[in-house]
A and B are shown apart, each in its own frame.
Chain A
C-alpha cells in the first residue's frame, strides 16, 4: 500500500511525458523533492497564527490514520473495527477542514477563494464517497473495510458489473480529491484558477512535504478501494490489486491530463454532481440485485 502511494505520482508523470513526446523526469523525482523539503525549515507569514502551523500535521495525521484502515485485497489492514468506513470518511473530512482553516488563516484573498472552492467541492463529493462505500457495505452486510473485502470474494458474479462501476466512481473521486484535470490543474501557476494548490501557497519546507505526503496517501486510499472493487470481481490477491491501483489511477489521470482541457470552474459542480448521481445509481442497482438474489 505504501508502494502504491509512492508510485502513483510517478506513473502520472511518466504517462504525461510519454504522451507529450518528452523524456520526462525521473520516476521517483517527486519523492526526492519531498525528501529535500523534509530537510528544510519552514517560513511563516507574520499574519498567521498557531492554527496555520498545526494544520499540516493534522492533515497528514488524519490522512495517515485513514490510510491504516484500508486493506489491499487479501492483505489485512493495520487497524479495523465495525463501522470504520464511516470513520475513514470523516477522517478525510477532518483533514480537509484543517487545511481549509489554515488557508483562511493566512488572510490572503487567493487562499480564501481556494478554501471556498475546496469546501464546496468537498461537500459535493462526500455523498458520492458515502454511497460508493455504502454499495460495498450493502453487498456484504459489513461496515468495516477488512470485513467487506474479505467477504466480498464469495459474492455472486452478477454483481461484478456494479463493482466495476464502483471502481470507476472511486477513480473519479480520486481525481476530484487529488486536484487533477479536469477539476483542478496541479501544474498551473495561475493563483486565480487554483483550487487545492492555492491553499498551500504559504507553506514551505517541512510543512509542504507533509501536505505532499498526505496528498499521496489520500490518492492511494481511493486508488486501492477502486482496485479492490475490481479485484473482488476478477482475482482477489494483493499482487493483483496493488499494481492495478497504481495503473488504473496513474494511467487514467496521465491520459486525461494530456488529452483534454480542464473544466470551466462553474462546470466542475456539474461534473461532481454527475458522479454523485452515478454513485446513487450504483447503490440502487446494487440494492436491487441483492434483493433479487435473496428472493
Chain B
C-alpha cells in the first residue's frame, strides 16, 4: 500500500487528490521504524477541519535523497484515539501539542500534552497562560526561579521557570504564547497577496527575508510560475545578507552577555554596515520589500551590485579579524567552552534544525539537502561542528558568515542584470485543490510554509513553521546542570524567536 506521495522542494504544488489518505495505524507503524533513521525528520504535521471531521497532513523530509514525503489521514479519533508519536519520537511534540490544543484530539500515551501557544482559536478557552501547568519538583533544598514573561532587556516576552539546586539548574521549562497574533488565520482571512506578503515578512522580524521567501515560493508553486535564475540569485543574496547580519548581531550579543565590550562594539559596527547595505538596496534595513511573489520591486542594478560586493568584502575581512581574535581570547573561551552541551543524540531526538543542530554535529541544512532556487547551482557545503557547546554554536555562526559572504561574492561576480526581472504579480491564478509547501533555510534554520487551496483557488489553510518551534527544547536541554548565571549565554547562542513560535 502506498503511504506517501513523493515530491521534492523544487516541484510544483501537489494536487490534494494525489496525496494518499492512509490508515493511521499503518502510518504509525511505518513512522515508528522510519523516523529512527536520522536521515528523516518531520517538516510539518497539522490538521485541517473538513466535513467529516479532521484531516491530518504530514510532511516528512528525507535528507539523503532530497525527497519530500507527503501523506494524509482521516482518523475516527473519538473511537480509537490516536497513539502518540511523541512517545516514540519526541520530535513530534510541538505538532501533537498544537493539534491537541486546537482541536482537542487526544493522543494516547503522550508524555504531557501541554498547550503550545494559547492561540485565540484554541478549543479549551479555560486553559489560559495563567494556569500553565509548570513542572515542579518538591524538595527542601530546591528553589524555583521564574524569569519573565516581561524581561529587563528589549527581548520578547516568554516565561522561563527554572528549578535550581543553589546555582545549578536542574530543569528549565519554557512557556510561550505571549506573542500570539493569529498570523495563520490572517493569511487566510484576506486573499490580497500583497497583504499576505507583508504579513509573511512580519512573522518574525529578524527573519523577514526568510519567511517572505518561503511565502513567495509557496505562491509561485501554486501559480505554476518558476522564478527566473536572475530572480533566484537576488533572493539568495538577500537571504545570505540577512544571515550575515543576524550572525554578526549574535556574535556581538554573546560578547555583551559576558561583559566583553571590545567584540561587542566591533560586531555592532559590522552589523550596521551589513544592514545598511540592505537599506541601500531596498530601503529597508531588515530586507523587507526585497522578496515579492513572481517578481521584484527592487531588481539589482550594476551600481547596487558593486556596492554590495564592496561592503560585503569589507565586512568579511574585518569580521575575519574579529573571528581570529575571538578564537584566541582566553577569558571568552573560558565562558563558552564546555558550556550548554546538547549532544548530537539529543538533537536528533528533539528534531533540532538549522545552525544549532549543525553545531551539535547534526547535518540539517536545507541549502544542501533540499535546495530551492539558486541553491541547486551552489554546491553548498554545510558547516558542521561537533563540540555541541556554546562555543560550537558561536563558531558555526562565525564560519557561516564567511561562507555566506563568499556565496554572495561568487553569485554577484558573474551576475549581470539584464532588466528582465518582472514586477511582482499578486493576481496570478492559483491551482485549485492543491497543497503547496516551501522549505527555506533561514539564518536560524528550517522554515516551512504550507498552503492548501480550495476549489476556487483561494488559500484555505496556511500553516507556518519557524525553526524555533523545534529548537526551544534544545535550549531547555542545554542549560540542565549548568549554572543559572550561564543561562543568558546559552539563550543567546540559540537566539530563538518568540513571535516565530507563537505566530
Residues on A close to B: CB < 8 A? 16, 19-22, 109-110, 112-113, 181-182, 185, 187-193, 257-267
Contact = CB atoms under 8 A, between A and B. Distances in A.
A257 B334 contact: no
B262 A259 contact: yes
A251 to B, nearest CB: 15
Contact of A188 (B257, B331, B486): B257
Interface in B130-173: 143-147, 152-153, 167
Given A182-B331, A193-B488, A261-B334, 17 more contacts: A19-B262, A20-B261, A20-B262, A109-B144, A110-B145, A113-B484, A189-B152, A192-B485, A193-B485, A258-B261, A260-B331, A261-B255, A261-B258, A261-B335, A263-B334, A264-B339, A264-B486
B415 interface: no
B143 A109 contact: yes
B487 A187 contact: no
A182 B330 CA distance: 13
A182 B257 CA distance: 12
A109 B145 contact: yes
A19 B488 contact: no
Looking at chain B, what size class is its interface with the partner chain?
Answer: 20 to 34
Contacts of B484: 113, 192
A23 to B, nearest CB: 12
A185 to B, nearest CB: 4
B337 to A, nearest CB: 10
B259 A262 contact: yes
B258 A262 contact: yes
Contacts of A187: 259
Contacts, number: 79
A192 B488 contact: yes
Nearest to A188: B259
Nearest to A267: B334
Contacts of A193: 257, 485, 488
The 6 closest A-B pairs by CB, nearest first: A185-B259, A261-B258, A262-B259, A261-B331, A261-B260, A265-B485
Contact of B147 (A20, A112, A192, A267): A192
A185 B331 CA distance: 14
A192 B258 CA distance: 12
Contact of B265 (A22, A185, A264): A22
B332 to A, nearest CB: 5
B483 interface: yes
Contacts of B485: 192-193, 264-265
A257 B259 CA distance: 7
B79 interface: no
B329 interface: yes
Contacts of B147: 191-192
B332 A190 contact: no
Contact of A264 (B143, B257, B335, B488): B335
Contact of B259 (A113, A181, A191, A265): A181
A274 to B, nearest CB: 15
B145 A113 contact: yes
Contact of B257 (A16, A181, A190, A191): A190
A112 to B, nearest CB: 8
29 contacts: A19-B262, A20-B261, A21-B265, A109-B143, A109-B145, A113-B484, A182-B331, A185-B259, A187-B259, A188-B257, A190-B488, A191-B152, A192-B147, A192-B487, A257-B259, A260-B260, A260-B331, A261-B255, A261-B331, A261-B334, A262-B258, A262-B259, A262-B335, A263-B331, A263-B334, A264-B335, A264-B339, A265-B167, A265-B486
Chain A contact residues: helix, strand, loop or mixed: loop
A267 B334 CA distance: 10
Given A20-B262, A21-B265, A193-B488, A266 B153 contact: no
Nearest to B484: A192
A185 B255 CA distance: 12
B394 to A, nearest CB: 12
B388 to A, nearest CB: 18
Nearest to A198: B152
Contacts of A185: 259
Contacts of A263: 331, 334-335
A258 to B, nearest CB: 5
A185 B335 CA distance: 14
A113 B167 CA distance: 8
Contacts of A265: 167, 483, 485-486
Nearest to A120: B167
Nearest to A266: B483
Contacts of A188: 257, 259
A20 B255 CA distance: 13
Interface string B457-494: 00000000000000000000000000111111000000
B167 A16 contact: no
A259 B335 CA distance: 15
B261 A266 contact: no
Contacts of B329: 260-261
Contacts of A261: 255, 258-260, 329, 331-332, 334-335
A183 to B, nearest CB: 10
A20 B483 CA distance: 30
B303 to A, nearest CB: 30
Nearest to A262: B259
A192 B169 CA distance: 12
B152 A190 contact: yes
B146 A109 contact: yes
B483 A264 contact: yes
